[in-house]
Amino acid sequence: MVRLERHPILEFKKGKRVTIYFDGRPVEAYEGETVAAALYASGLRIFSRSFRFHRPRGFFCAIGKCSSCMMEVDGIPNVRTCKVYVRDGMQIRSQNSFPNVNTDFYEIFDRLDSLFPHGFHYKKFIKPSFMRPFFVNSLRKFTGLGNFPKEELGEEAYKKEIECDIAIIGAGPAGLSAAIYAGELGADICLIDENPRVGGQLIKQTHRFFGSAEHGAGTRGIKIAEQLEEEIKRYENVNLMLRTGVFGIYNGVVGAVRDNTLLKIKPKKIIIATGAYERTLIFENNDLPGVYGAGGVQTLMNVYGVRPGDTGLVVGSGNVGLILTYQLLQAGVNVAAIIEAMPVIGGYFVHAAKVRRLGVPIYTRHTIKRAYGSKTVEGAQIIALDDKWQEIPGSGRDIECDFICISVGLSPTHELLYQAGCEMKFVPNLGGFVPVRDKYMETTKKGIYVAGDVAGIEEASTAMIEGRISGLDSAIKLGYGDEKAKEMREKMVMELEDMRSGPFGIRILEGLKHVVV
């Protein structure tokens, strides 16, 4: 069964049963799930084809950060199906394939790739010149992602202006904490998130969290999300705007879209808590359906109750990889191995011990060489690395698996910060480009704050503290709160320091030296 019926931690409440259509064929779906999850549950692995070499494309990140799952939905091309929720009668079509996505005649281009190197159209098919219009017209038929809509959509569009004290972008652990602490001081808040639920990535974290006992250590991520949601709903001064996507910040004005409405949000302060996205890894066939982001698999399995496959290979032994392995075992999925390029396991020892005692091997100093398979993953080859990170010849071995989870780290979702004009610095210890800020999380662009993974990749527990600090400081600077609020702000700064005082904090502290002014 692809759909999970029983789970030791989670209870899956299915919505109303509806029918969607994939290339005209009916597919069973349940309200509240995304198109990608419903199609995956129906057994579909190839969603579309790439436009150049017609290689299979499928599910990857599940949270709208990549372009792997793009399909045509109700006539609109290039829709990320992991962000669209099913509706009865929805028409979904694959893109760039003929006659269908499984058997695509144009797949031949993948074998003839040597005939079509990058830029071939500058050198080939240009002579004789009178034939050129014909060549160009023919070639154009093969370019572009998807097809233009055949009819005008003709929907009405609206616009609306909203004023508030603080706009918080992202309602994950950091954004929610910021809203709660600033809301408590009485600030008027818009809390904006593109998803239909608050909680960010907490909603797929079934494990109990580490951290300080005062702030929920020992509580499961899903439970923390519920608690924060309940708390946020108590504040009348927090305007929770879900299914709202922010696309830019223009001179302090936040531009967002909800359904057919363009929103112009004019806040006095902005807190950006947009989180992070998963990195991928370079290896042969890394674009095959079956190679997934670890977080994507968590979403599929723990939010929508869909099994990703029968046997997985987990690449990367950070906390995400270790936790995912445990969650796969809980869902009754086998894990062939965890591989790690570093000489030691990256995540917490206790997480590793949890999966080791259930018999999952962890191979340190190993990397993935290639994925096997023509349409979906049918296996993988791993190879040992020496102390100079070079592959050891002859050490390759095959792993039997039908999907591969990539958990090799995260990168901050920093686009809004760039666009707003914040000074950014590349700090590998923090996961990539991160904003320069002061100890209260205010960036070089006055009035714009950051909190959570977008400020540097860390744990949810530290994201929540950063959220509290930014929420408190922005509200205090707007004249809310008294001395007690300032004391609380200092206490949070101290707590954050405490959390980072161990060996896992050394990397973070090193990185922060470059960006905290």
With contact defined as beta carbons under 8 Å apart, do 349 and 365 qualify?
no
CB of 350 to other proteins, least distance (A): 3
How far apart CA 427 and CA 409 sit, in angstroms, is 14
- CA–CA gap between residue 338 and residue 211 (Å, rounded): 25
Q: Which one of the spans 128-136, 412-420, 440-448, 499-507 is the region binding other proteins (CB under 8 A)?
A: 499-507
Which of 153, 28, 128, 46 is CA-nearest to residue 86?
Answer: 28
DSSP for 192-205, please give it. Answer: E-SSSSSSGGGGG-
Measured distance CA(510)–CA(25) in Å, rounded:
55
Phi, psi for 268 (deg, rounded to 5)? -90, -30
Q: Which is nearer to other proteins, 66 or 499 (CB)?
A: 499
Give the nearer residue to other proteins in terms of CB position, either 133 or 503: 503
In whole angstroms, how far apart are CA 222 and each of 179, 204, 509?
19, 6, 28
Q: Which of 346, 329, 338 is nearest to 366 (CA)?
A: 338
C-alpha triplet 482, 486, 492: angle, nearest 5°: 140
Q: Please state the closest distance from residue 358 (CB atom) to other proteins, in A.
A: 5
Applying CB under 8 A, among 30, 40, 51, 209 the residue interacting with other proteins is 209
Q: Which stretch binds other proteins (CB under 8 A): 207-215, 251-259, 378-386, 473-481?
A: 207-215
What is the three-state SS of 414-478? CHHHHHHCCCEEEEHHHCEEEECECCCCEECCCCEEECHHHHCCCCHHHHHHHHHHHHHHHHHHC
Q: What is the CA radius of gyration of the chain?
A: 24
Distance in Å from the first CA to the final CA of the chain: 54
Closest CB to other proteins among residues 47, 209: 209
Pick the stretch among 53-61, 100-108, 212-220, 384-392 that binds other proteins (CB under 8 A): 212-220
**Which of 469, 500, 511, 512: binder of other proteins (CB under 8 A)?**
500
Near other proteins in 8-47, by CB under 8 A: 8-9
- Judged by CB under 8 A, the stretch of 237-245, 407-415, 419-427, 494-502 that binds other proteins is 494-502
Smallest separation, CB 182 to other proteins (Å): 25
The closest alpha carbon to 273, from 176, 409, 410, 418, belongs to: 176
Q: What are phi and psi of 436, to 5 degrees?
A: -75, 135
**Residue 503 to residue 319: CA distance in whole angstroms:** 15
**Nearer to other proteins (CB atom), residue 143 or residue 501:** 501
Burial state string for 359-379 with b = 16 or more CB within 10 A and e = fewer than 16 = ebebbbbbbbbbbbbebbbeb
Judge residue 143's burial from the number of C-beta atoms within 10 Å of its C-beta, 0-12 exposed, 13-18 middle, 19 or more buried.
exposed
Number of residues that bind other proteins (CB under 8 A): 49
For residue 43, the one-letter residue type is G
Q: Binder to other proteins among 7, 264, 279, 477 (CB under 8 A)?
A: 7
Could you tell me whether strands 362-364 and 366-372 are parallel, antiparallel, or unpaired per DSSP bridges? unpaired
Distance in Å, CB of 386 to other proteins, minimum: 15
Cβ closer to other proteins: 224 or 406? 224
Residue of the chain from 64, 293, 305, 505 that contacts other proteins (CB under 8 A): 505
Which residue from 115, 390, 503, 513 is in contact with other proteins, where contact means CB under 8 A?
A: 503
Query: Does 395 sit near other proteins (CB under 8 A)?
Result: no
| Min separation Cβ 203 and other proteins, Å | 15
The region of 110-118, 138-146, 200-208, 369-377 touching other proteins under the rule CB under 8 A is: 200-208
Q: How far is the CB of 18 from other proteins (least distance, A)?
A: 29
In the bound state with other proteins, the residue whose beta carbon lies nearer, of 90 and 355, is 355
CA nearest to 66, candidates 403, 430, 406: 406
Q: Does 344 interact with other proteins (rule: CB under 8 A)?
A: yes
Structure tokens at 329: 């075992």
Binding to other proteins by CB under 8 A, coded x per residue (else -) over 346-365, reads --xxxxxxxxxxxxx-x-x-
Least separation in angstroms between CB 265 and other proteins: 36
Q: Per CB under 8 A, does 497 bind other proteins?
A: no
Binder among 64, 211, 267, 412 for other proteins (CB under 8 A): 211
Site pattern 217..256 for other proteins (x: CB under 8 A):
xxxx--x---------------------------------
Task: Report the residue number, 57 or 351, with the smaller CB distance to other proteins.
Answer: 351
Binding map of other proteins across residues 154-193, x = CB under 8 A, - = no contact: ----------------------------------------
Q: Is 207 in the site for other proteins (CB under 8 A)?
A: yes
Restricting to residues 449-488, which ones interact with other proteins according to CB under 8 A? Answer: 459, 461
**Position 329 contacts other proteins (CB under 8 A):** yes
Of 453 and 459, nearer to other proteins (C-beta) is 459
Q: Is 208 left (phi over 0), alpha (psi -120 to 50) or beta?
A: beta
Binding residues for other proteins, rule: CB under 8 A, are: 6-9, 206-214, 217-220, 223, 329-330, 332, 343-345, 348-360, 362, 364, 459, 461, 498-505
